[in-house]
Structure 1
């Protein structure tokens, strides 16, 4: 079964990050137009913020060669943006493996949303299986920064656990992503702890508390009562 993931890629060399940096009140999302040669054009949808400020930021962006306003609806504007840099010029100093980045374009995955943030991109994507997601996340972890916010099976709602703390959410999702809950396990508690930046004993306690809370919220509250 496929997976749906929401995550952040922390790299301030990604395209158009200077726009939300200059206009923090604007929300900027991107779509790619792959019909325009090796480097696709961007369709940037901008909601909020001053139109003048946004367009000044596009003018000032070193990775923008030209842009065109193609439509407006209320405070939402859509721009066609022509990149000024090649992939190597854009990311070559940050990524050791540009070929690996190009390979991700053929992975069994669909990125359905890209939101541009001052320090990188926040994305939501669909992945055919764990291996497809693992290849994607491992590439970005090796090269820049990667933070997982949500990982669920397709066709299912957000996993339960509103009572979990942010750290418990992070611990469970990191352990799941790395294969700690697989049978047989694909990683160790030490590896999970290293990814979280804490000791193995702290990681173990955090995972146990998170699992206990999930059991309380699901099995303990929904399981049919025992007969008298």
Structure 2
């Protein structure tokens, strides 16, 4: 049965993460395309850095043969990278066990959403990563059916969903606001700080799933 796994990994574990560690403000997102020439991670979006300094740093890596800026949209830049050679680390383990990268983004730490044909392939991938010295933190494993069901629900807890729904319905996000955070907290029967944390975490989850699941061209 097809399984989906969400993992966190240090940027040093793979080429793209390693060469784009220009500063703590930089965020990189893999462009979801299937390269026809067999190249590894050829397209990515970058934001949060001064583009000239970022490009100079990436081009200075021995692993990069060529870096091209293809598009600039709202402070984000779409790049195409050509590697001199790829290190058989995280991406090598993914390919060796028939894994597919569905989503990937990060800075110092990256979040990957991967698909494997079954649990045996996933287990073999995990063992392979250990052998290669790649330290993974597994956040979530789900079957394909469960993953799509949770995607519809945005992976919110019941409390987060209730808090966000109440905030939206009562006009907390409107300009100007129709209710205060304190009023939302009172309605939920929790402290103002707890309400703020629930709403912010829920909003962050929904926005990331809604925005990060779309390709750069969609945006």
| Length-normalised TM-score, structure 2 | 0.57
Aligned counterparts, 1:69-108, within 5 A = 69-84=69-84, 86-87=85-86, 90-91=87-88, 101=92, 104-105=94-95, 107-108=97-98
The two structures have a TM-score, normalised by structure 1, of: 0.55
Deviates more, 1:53-62 or 1:68-77: 53-62
Note the C-alpha offset of 1:106: 5.8
Distance between the aligned counterparts of 1:79 and 1:53, measured in 2?
14
Cα displacement (A) at 1:108: 4.1
From 108, 131, 134, the equivalent of 1:118 is: 108
Distance 1:159 1:109 in 2: 26
C-alpha distance in structure 2 between counterparts of 1:20 and 1:162, whole Å: 37
Query: 1:67: Cα distance to partner?
Result: 0.9
Say if 2:143 is the partner of 1:153: yes
Say if 1:23 and 1:53, in contact at 8 Å, map to a contact too: no
Q: Which residue does the alignment assign to 2:37?
A: 36
1:121-146 deviation line (CA, Å, top 9, x unaligned): 43111222211211111111222112
Q: How many residues align?
A: 151
1:33–1:42: 8 Å Cα contact kept in structure 2? no
| 1:143-182 to 2 correspondences below 5 Å | 143-144=132-133, 145-156=135-146, 157=150, 158=155
Corresponding position of 2:48:
48
8 A Cα contact 1:64 1:82, kept in partner: yes
Contact 1:20 1:116 in 2 (8 A): no
Q: Are 2:3 and 2:142, in contact at CA under 8 Å, matched by a contact in 1?
A: yes
Q: Structure 1 CA distance, aligned partners of 2:75 and 2:156?
A: 34
Unaligned runs of 5+ in 2: 161-219
Check whether the contact 1:115–1:122 (CA below 8 A) recurs between aligned residues: yes
Unmatched segments (≥5 aa) in structure 1: 164-228
Q: Distance in 2 between matches of 1:68 and 1:160?
A: 41
